[in-house]
């Protein structure tokens, strides 16, 4: 597709409903940026569980234009129009309103506020799919790890069994095959699955906990590979995994009542 083209390929929904029936692949006009906004050519975008829930109607703040709504929050791409110094630059980003009150990144183009371009330049050591996979997962993880405030040498239990991120390499030739977006369309390019047994947020939490000098204690529903089996009793497993030091903090990215209670019971005195 050339930049001179007038349309783009997008995923969109016009009303809430099951993803398989509500979401469709279609052609829409390339957006015209409002004053003070830049146009980004999307090279990769991530599919988060919140995108699926948005399509299913879990977010009442979502609005619809005459074309419906394009979902998607995280993206990486290049600047097509905007301030001259940014034209052609590789950028990455996420947006709280993307896919909800303004069109999101599951398209070939997305618009962003020019004021954010100065902090959106993409690190040169990341590929577009890698950069697109960072947004919601790392933003959420940074808030959770910040609250946990892990200190060097402390053991932190991380609960996280959400689906892994699926990264869209290019919507110009994309036909998605995933558990999150089970739409029936021909497969011309399969989305790259970012591996991680703990999901996007859990995987990001592990990296940030390590960065703080603390020790992440991983969990799974089967155990093995150094992880704790959360379907079984926790105290003896934690004692073994931490060399008897115990857990001083729990980061729960799941929100499941049973796991939360088990985690509280596993915490050391004055744990957090």
How does the average pLDDT of the chain come out, rounded?
Answer: 81
Confidence (pLDDT) at 272: 86
The two structure tokens encoding residue 204? 């990001």
Cβ-contact 38, 82 below 8 angstroms: yes
Confidence (pLDDT) at 58: 94
d(C-alpha 17, C-alpha 82), whole Å: 36
Backbone angles phi, psi at 115, to 5 degrees: -65, -20
Q: What is the dihedral of CA 261, 225, 130, 188, to 10 degrees?
A: -100
pLDDT per residue over 141-200, tens digit each? 889 999 999 999 999 988 874 434 444 444 333 333 333 444 333 322 223 333 333 577
The stretches in the chain having pLDDT less than 70 are 1-4, 161-198, 222-226
Burial class for 1, CB neighbours closer than 10 Å (0-12, 13-18, 19+): middle
Q: What is the dihedral of CA 94, 10, 21, 175, to 10 degrees?
A: -100
Confidence (pLDDT) at 223: 61
pTM: 0.76
d(C-alpha 36, C-alpha 13), whole Å: 27
């Amino acid at each position: 597709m050339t930049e001179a083209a007038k349309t783009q390929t997008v995923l969109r929904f016009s009303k809430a409903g099951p993803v398989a029936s509500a979401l469709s692949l279609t052609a829409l006009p390339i957006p015209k940026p409002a004053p003070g906004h830049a146009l980004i050519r999307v090279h990769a975008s991530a599919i988060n569980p919140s995108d699926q829930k948005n399509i299913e109607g879990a977010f009442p703040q979502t609005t619809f234009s005459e074309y419906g709504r394009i979902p998607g929050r995280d993206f990486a791409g290049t600047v097509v129009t905007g301030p001259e110094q940014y034209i052609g630059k590789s950028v990455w980003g996420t947006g709280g309103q993307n896919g909800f009150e303004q069109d999101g990144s599951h398209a070939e183009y997305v618009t962003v506020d020019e004021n954010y371009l100065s902090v959106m330049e993409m690190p040169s050591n990341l590929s577009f799919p890698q950069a697109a996979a960072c947004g919601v997962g790392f933003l959420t993880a940074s808030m959770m790890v910040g609250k946990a405030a892990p200190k060097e040498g402390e053991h932190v239990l991380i609960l996280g069994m959400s689906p892994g991120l699926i990264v869209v390499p290019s919507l110009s030739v994309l036909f998605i095959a995933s558990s999150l977006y089970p739409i029936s369309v021909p497969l011309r390019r399969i989305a790259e699955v970012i591996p991680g047994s703990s999901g996007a947020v859990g995987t990001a939490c592990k990296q940030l906990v390590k960065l703080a000098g603390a020790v992440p204690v991983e969990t799974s529903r089967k155990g093995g590979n150094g992880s704790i089996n959360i379907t079984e009793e926790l105290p003896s497993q934690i004692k073994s995994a931490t060399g008897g030091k115990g857990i001083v903090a729990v980061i729960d990215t799941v929100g499941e009542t049973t796991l939360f209670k088990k985690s509280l019971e596993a915490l050391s005195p004055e744990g957090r």
